[in-house]
Chain A
Amino acid sequence: MISLLLILLPLLSGIITFFIKKEAGARAWSLLAAIATFVVAIVAFTCYNNTASLSFSAPWMGILNSSFAIKADGMGAMLCMLTALSFPLIFISTWTTSYKKAHNFLGLMLLTQAGLMGVFLAMDALLFYFFWELALIPVYFICSQWGNEKRIKVTFKFFIYTFIGSLLMLIGILYIYSQTNSFAIDAFYNASLSSQQQMWVFWLFFVAFAIKMPIFPLHTWQPDAYEQSPTAATMVLSGIMVKMGVLGLLRWLLPVLPIASYSWGDTVSTMAVIGIIYASLIAFQQNDMKRLVAYSSIAHIGLMCVAVFSETQSSIQGTLFQMFAHGINILGMWIIVEIIERKFGTRKMNELGGIAKKAPALTIFFFVIAFANIALPLTNAFVGEFLMFNGILGSPVTQYGVAFMVAAGTGVILGAVYTLKMGRQVFLGKTNSRTEQGTDIVFHEKAILCVIVATIIITGVYPQHLLHSLEDITNSILHKSDVLPLLKTMKQ
């Protein structure tokens, strides 16, 4: 029941926000709603441990055998927590950014949050599809209304991309439904399609998730969309929304179509690895900070994709952990980009420089987050990436584990290079006319960056708690997607 509150709270408060015409009132109200959701999430995932109170089911479309079933398993809880934590931070960090008709902007943001929560909690394929789209529509309006110059075209590209993907997924869902006659997730897990059917249904699902993540070569919408969107929306897109794709792989693809996931695993991993190196090389060339972070995000997500298809406990747990870590890190990155853009009026790296002298606190925060982004030990991403690499190397389902690991490792090294290059160009060196007048960050900015840095270091030094909460779901995913015994019997 309490998990239903996680969807309803942002949904209703979002609708109310549309009617608060005063900007200050709308901002206060939406922040309050986001904090309330955060509190509910904390209460839900710390005080309630039994699954009964975290799940909710009501009849919905009886004729279609679809029900409004939501449940917070380990993965859902972690992602809901990430969402609930991110939104207050986003609202505070953009507190002084001015938006025309702020109440509409904030209302749409809260609707997005409701959609995202729904995607993470849905345990019914049709419901999942509904929320999958519901999360997209408000983002479309946010980005087209409040984005930069080329926003309409770019956002439209993004929308059409994801819409085609989700329609293909709909066919996949309908195809499995035609075999099971139920949309419930357990029915999907027990669908046991023949391997021939799985082989092509796999792609219907995978294309949808790959577009969202994004995986090479379906990533072309992403850098443009990140660049042109208002930064608050970029935070949501890159911090939380890409996790929809990874969640889709882990919850709706691997366990539902295990044989196909095994057979196509190498193909998909190859695509992801190409994406990692390709994106890293392009990131290296970027001058715009937003584009650089966007490409680095493609590389990080690509690594998660490889890890998912390695199908070992270490890699899956690492992916889950990294989903949280990446969400926090990239959020921190965007907050800093937003602050710099607001203070100095540009995101071009060659126009910046020497900020360290003018804004030491900002610089310290940036470097901690940058270290987390390149997975230095003691930061959260180190734990995740270490587990993922460990899993990829020891993967029993692919022969090319070493090759994937070497290629993905190259990506990580390149990641360090371009991230530090950005640090050097923007923060170190001499000040120029643009950065001369710079001032350091103020209290509320320090506070949210403190929260992010604290999360990075705490989960980096003591990951045990989070890892433990992800253990059950990892085992259950692996158990359902384990095809090796099946293949052995087939060979005999």
Chain B
Amino acid sequence: MNALVLSAIFGVVMMFSGVVFKRNASIKATGIIAMIVLLLVNCMEMGNIKFFKFDVSAFMVFNDYALFFNSIAIFATLVYLVLTSAEMEKVGRNLAEYFALIFFIIAGITLTTSFTSLLTLFLGIEIISIPLYILTGSDKRNLKSNEAALKYFLMGSFSTGIMLMGIALIYGSQGSFSIDAMNFSAAAKTPNLHIAGMLFLLFAMSFKASVAPFHFWTPDVYDGAPTVFTSFMATIVKAAVFIGFVRLFGGAFGKLESTWSLWVAVMIAATLFVGNITAVFQQSVKRMLSYSSIAQAGFLLFGVYVMNEAGREGLLIYSAAYCLATIGIFAVLSKMTDYSFEGFNGLAKHQPLLAFTTTICLLSLAGIPLTAGFLGKFYMLKAAVSNGGNLWLVIFAVVMAAVSVYYYFRVIQAMYFKDGPVQSVAATPLEKYTLLIVCVLIILIGVFPNVFLNWLYFSR
């Protein structure tokens, strides 16, 4: 609740900061300080210090899981702002507005991760989506950015419509929006209504999370949007949608698992396949990362599929690992002039630190042990194996994980083993230290996940 209210307030504050401050540096500082405050108040709520005591239990419940994820999301956003706010200035003149939109998205994320009513979910998803449409098109003079924004908007509204339809059908069958009040029994005479509603919701959520076969918008939008905003969309927002996904299907449709589990399994397989195989053929690192984000969504979807405690924990670790690593790579990428693989040639010689941090992030994404990414994959696989009966999917997933090594390592090869011209990659010391901290965190979570997960257990 703390984070929800404050992020909305900060959003408004940031909008007006553009009027008050004339210099971008002040706007940036305000935004980053506000984000730190947001992180602190969210951590306070985990420690049971609540500033706002409204009774909203009919709409949302801020349980430990949701709060913990919100902390991860806000922390990742903070890292993101520190790393990329310099690049954000170059997108357009409205820096204050970009910051404001990001704060609104955070508000949407807190709604999405802690809803108990389908209406709140709808609100949360929309509050996330609309600022994203704007951010996608923020590079106004760039045709690709415009195209991406329009495409995203049209497809997004369409899927929103489907979602609303699903919610309406569920309401029609159950007479309630609350996910706790859902009572699906196998003996119900006409389950068609809520099964149809559930499928609509499944499709709509899959669209928002870019799960195949609803992923077609993803590469174009991620590629067209300004790189700094792609980084935000592909990581934090996507992870939040998955938390909402798990909450919806674990909470509301848990009892119908037999109906949807095969659908989801097929979607996982399709997502992994499409994402990984297509990423192999990309020539641009940015497009490769868009497809890799689809591929990673396949692994995240395991959290929805397995429906056990290990899967839910895995989702947290996975999203933390994925967000940190991808933000780290995008931060370096957004400073490059050439987005192709060749653009990375010889980076290790000229910018050893940036190359090193990118390598750690890539290793984490590829799921190499000692990194957080491995632990995320490990948890997902563990959850799926202990679930039993779906080993074909697990084996398929690891084969696809091995495919992913191919395109992640291409970047490493370019940086370390090939020679290239001197790149003018200017990173400030602050950015370099932040990147180093990201790497340390990735390795720390990978080696001592206890430290990370104990938060979840202790706060209970």
Contacts and interface: CB of A to CB of B under 8 A. Distances in A.
Nearest to B348: A145
Interface stretch (A37-45, A77-85, A173-181, A337-345): A173-181
Contacts of B417: 144-145, 151-152
Interface stretch (B22-30, B336-344, B394-402, B425-433): B394-402
B16 interface: no
Nearest to A144: B417
A16 interface: no
Contact of A170 (B398, B416, B449): B398
Contacts of A163: 402, 405
Using C-beta atoms within 8 Å of the partner chain, give the interface range for chain B.
20 to 34
Interface in A55-73: 61-64
B405 A130 contact: no
Interface in A163-215: 163-164, 167-168, 170-171, 174-175, 177-178
B395 A168 contact: yes
B398 A171 contact: yes
Given A145-B416, A159-B405, A168-B398, A133 B450 contact: no
Contacts of A171: 381, 385, 391, 394-395, 398
Nearest to B395: A171
A160 B406 contact: yes
A454 B388 CA distance: 54
B139 to A, nearest CB: 36
A129 interface: yes
A174 B374 CA distance: 14
Interface string B236-280: 000000000000000000000000000000000000000000000
Please classify the interface of chain B as helix (H, G, I), strand (E, B), loop, or mixed, using the class held by over half of its residues. helix
A137 interface: yes
A177 B382 contact: yes
A144 B402 contact: no
Contacts, number: 69
Contact of A134 (B370, B394, B449): B370
A156 interface: yes
Greatest chain B CB density within 10 A among A133, A137, A144, A171 is at A171
A99 interface: no
A62 B363 CA distance: 25
A218 B106 CA distance: 50
Given A159-B409, A171-B385, A164 B399 contact: yes
Interface residues of A, number: 27
B450 A129 contact: no
B142 interface: no
B369 A160 contact: no
Given A61-B449, A130-B369, A130-B370, A178 B388 contact: yes
A144 B453 CA distance: 36
B192 interface: no
B282 interface: no
Contact of B450 (A62, A145, A164): A62
Nearest to B374: A133
Contacts of A178: 382, 385-386, 388
Contacts of A400: none
B385 A160 contact: no
Interface string B342-382: 00000000000000000000010000111000000010011
B303 to A, nearest CB: 16
A144 B405 contact: no
A163 B417 CA distance: 20
A141 interface: yes
A129 B370 CA distance: 10
A61 B378 CA distance: 13
Interface in A121-147: 129-130, 133-134, 137, 141, 144-145
Interface of A: 61-64, 129-130, 133-134, 137, 141, 144-145, 151-152, 156, 159-160, 163-164, 167-168, 170-171, 174-175, 177-178
Q: Give 6 closest A-B pairs by Cβ, nearest first.
A: A167-B398, A178-B386, A133-B369, A164-B402, A174-B385, A130-B369
Interface of B: 363, 368-370, 378, 381-382, 385-386, 388, 391, 394-395, 398-399, 401-402, 405-406, 409, 413, 416-417, 448-450, 453, 457
Given A61-B448, A141-B416, 6 more contacts: A130-B369, A160-B402, A160-B406, A171-B385, A174-B385, A175-B385
21 contacts: A61-B448, A61-B450, A63-B457, A64-B382, A129-B369, A144-B413, A144-B416, A145-B417, A151-B417, A152-B417, A156-B413, A160-B405, A164-B402, A167-B398, A167-B399, A167-B401, A168-B395, A170-B378, A171-B381, A171-B394, A174-B382
